[in-house]
Structure 1
C-alpha cells in the first residue's frame, strides 16, 4: 500500500468495501439450487439440463480466474474489483430477465448464471491481493473476516430466495434478478475507492508453476474440495426436497448449512497457519464432509438440521484451509500469485465437473445412492491431494532429504 493511498482512503472504508464485495461472491451460486424445482416445473428443464445449469457457472468461474493477471496489469486491482461486481450485477439481472419477459427464460438464465460466475471468479482472484496490500499487518484476520462474510452471503441467498420468489409475486425470475441490488450497493461504495486508487496499484503476478508437483497437489485439493462445495450449493435443496422437505424448508436448511461455514472459515485458517503440517486438518475436514453429506442424503430425516450444520462446518473449513495452503506453500508474494492463478483457475474449472456428474448420476439412477457414492469418491480424491498439499513444503523448493526418504 502506498503512502498516498493510506492518506487518501481510511482503512475502515476500504474494509467496508471489501466486505460488501465479499458478500456478493456467493449468492449468485447459492440461489439457483433452492429454486431448481420451480425452474424445472415452469420451463421444462430436464435433470440433465439442471446438471448443466449447476456446472456451467463453476466452469466460467474457473475460466475467469485466468483473467486476473491481465486485469491487474491493464486496470489495476481496484478497478478490476469494480468491474467484477458490476459483471455479477448484470448476470444477476439476466438470470431472471427471460422469465420476466415470458420468453427466452432458459437462454438468459444460463447466460446470466455464467456471467455472474465470471464476475465472482475475477473478484476471487483480486480480493486476496487487496487484503494483503491494504492490511499488511492484519492480512490473516482480514482474510478470515472476508471469507466469513462470503459464507454469510451464501447463507442469506440460500435462505431467503424461496420466500422472495413466493412472497413478492414475481416467482423465481424476480427473486433471482433482485440479487443485483446488493451488487450495485457494493459497486457504489467501491467506486470512490477505485478512483482514489487509480493508477497507483498496477502490480506484477508470478507465473503459474505448471511443472511443480506440490503446486499440482495444491491445485487438486483446491479444485476437488471446491467441487464438493458446488455440488452442495447446486443439489442439496433438491436432495432435501426429494426426502420430503418443502422448498422453503430445504432452502432454510441450506441456509443453516451455509451459516455453519462462517465460524470454521474464520477459525481453521488461523489454526492451520500456526501448524507446520496441515494434513490433520485435511483428514478431519474431508472425512467429516463425506460422512455428513451421506447422512443428509441417505440417513434419518430427524438428523437433517444437525448434519446440515456439520456439513457447513466442514465445507467452510475446507475452503479456508485451501486458501491458507496456497499462501503457506508459496515462498513469497509473487509465487503466491502464480500458485493462486493455477490452483483457482484450473481447480475451479475441473470443479465444475462435480455438479455435472452428480446430476447425471441422479438422472441415470433416479435416486441419490449413486450421486452420494460419487460425492464420497470426489472427497477421497480431495483427501489424497490434500495429504500432499498439506506437507511442510513450498512450491519451487526441493524437499529436505529426510522427507525424500
Structure 2
C-alpha cells in the first residue's frame, strides 16, 4: 500500500513538473511578441514617440543581457522552484503595471517583465536537467514548443485578442497575465505537495556552490557565441522582415502571415529536434543541416524576393527553430551538473542577447546604403557562416568542465 502511495506521489510530482515547464516557457516570449502588432495602437493611446515605442521591446532584451549572469549566482541561495516562483511573481507584477497604468508604469512594468523572463530563461534549463535527467531531449522539445507556440499566437492574434476582450491593446497584452498566474498556482501546489508529503523534489534543493570559472571554458564560449549569433539572425529578421516584404510589394497583413508561417514552422522541429539531437553522439550533422537551410533561405530572400516566399519562410522557420532548441539543449548536454547548466544558461543568454542587440540596427543601417536589402541579407548570411564555425565546435561531445 505504501509503495502504491509512493508511486502515486512520484507520478503527481512529475505531472506538476511538466506543467511548470509548459507554463513557464509559455511566458518567456509571448509578453514581448504580443507588443509589435499593437505598438501603433499603444503609441497613439499614450502619445509615445518612435524611440519610446521601440523601448517597449528593447527594455526586456537589455534586462536579459545585463542580468542573466547575475541570476545564475542566486541558484546557490535559493532553490530552483523558489527562483521560478519569484520569476512569475515579478513577471505578473510587470504585466499588471504595463496594462493597468499610465506611461510611467508602462515602462516600469517592462523592466519587471524583462527581469521575470530573465530568471525563467536562465533557471528552466537547470530545472529540466534536475527533474528529467533521462528525458532531457523530450522536455527541452516541450519547453521550446510551448515557448514558440505562444510566441506565434501572441504575434498572430494580438490584435484579435484586443478586439475579443473589448479592451484594445490592454486586452492584447493583459491576457498573458493569466498564464503567469496559472504558473504561480501550479508552483504553489508543488511546494505544498512536497511539504505535506515530507518529500523534496531535486529542484527544491539549493544548488551546491561551484568554484568552476565558466568564463575560462572554451566550450562555454562556443555555446554562448552560437546562441548569440542565432539570436541575432532571429531578431534581425523578426524586426525588419515586415518592412522588407512591403518594399518587395506585399500589402496589408501579408507580411504578418509570413511571420506567422515562420513561427508555426518552428514548432514541430523544436519538439522533434532536441529528441533526435539527444540521441546523437555529436550534433555536427545537425549543425550543418541547420546552417545550410538558413543560408539558403537568406539567398532566397535576397534574390527571389517574394517568389516562393512561403517556401522561404518555412525553410527559415525550420532552421531557426532547430538552432534555438539546440542552443537550449547544449546547456544540459554539455554540463555535468545542474549548477553548471544554470551557469552556462546565464552566460550564454547574457552574451547572446548582447550580440543579438546589434543585429537589427546593423541590418537596418545597411539598407540605408543599399535600398535593395540585398546587402542586409548578405550580412545575415555572413553571421550564419560565423555561427556555423562556433556551432560546429559546440556540437563536439565535450563538456564545458573539460580542459
Structure-2-length-normalised TM-score = 0.83
Q: Is it true that 1:24 corresponds to 2:21 in the alignment?
A: no
In structure 2, the gaps of 5 or more residues are 1-5
Q: Do 1:205 and 1:338's aligned partners in 2 also have CA atoms closer than 8 Å?
A: no
**Which of residues 55, 80, 91 is equivalent to 1:88?**
91
Shift of residue 314 of structure 1? 0.9
Distance of 2:261 and 2:332 partners within structure 1: 29
Distance 1:134-1:391 versus aligned 2 partners, 3 A rule: closer
Partners of 1:334 and 1:94 in 2: CA distance: 33
1:1-400 superposed matches below 5 A: 9-36=12-39, 38=41, 43=47, 45-46=49-50, 53-97=56-100, 101=102, 104=103, 108-165=105-162, 168-197=165-194, 200-204=204-208, 206=210, 207-245=212-250, 248-296=253-301, 299-362=304-367, 368-398=373-403
1:41 CA drift (Å): 6.5
CA distance in 2, matches of 1:246, 1:37: 17
Contact 1:230-1:355 at 8 Å conserved across structures: yes
Comparing 5-14 with 308-317, which one deviates more in the overlay? 5-14
Gaps of 5+ in 1: 399-405
Number of residue equivalences: 389
Give per-residue Cα distances to partners, 1:209-237, cap 9 Å, x unaligned. 11222221111111111222223343434
- Structure 1's 392 and 73: CA in aligned 2 closer, same or farther, altered over 3 A? closer
Task: Give the deviation of 1:313 after TM superposition.
Answer: 0.9
Query: Separation in 1 of the partners of 2:390 and 2:167?
Result: 45
What CA RMSD, in Å, does the superposition of the two structures yield over aligned residues? 3.2
User: What secondary structure does 2:28 align onto?
Assistant: coil
Q: 1:273 to 1:129 in 2, by over 3 A?
A: same
Question: Deviation at 1:97?
Answer: 4.6
Contact 1:34 1:238 (C-alpha < 8 Å) held by counterparts: no
1:184 Cα offset (Å): 1.8
Question: Is the 2:207–2:338 contact (alpha carbons within 8 Å) kept by the matching residues of 1?
Answer: no
Supply the distance in 2 between the matched residues of 1:308 and 1:232 (Cα, whole angstroms): 11
Q: Which whole-Å CA distance do the structure 2 matches of 1:244 and 1:109 have between them?
A: 35
Aligned mates of 1:287, 1:385 — CA distance in 2 = 15
| Contact 2:125–2:331 (8 Å) recurs in 1 | no
1:367 Cα deviation from its structure 2 partner? 6.2
CA distance in 2, matches of 1:297, 1:52: 29
Contact kept, 8 Å, 2:65 with 2:350, in 1: the verdict is yes
Output the TM-score relative to the length of structure 1.
Answer: 0.83
| Mean CA deviation greater in 235-244 or 117-126 | 235-244
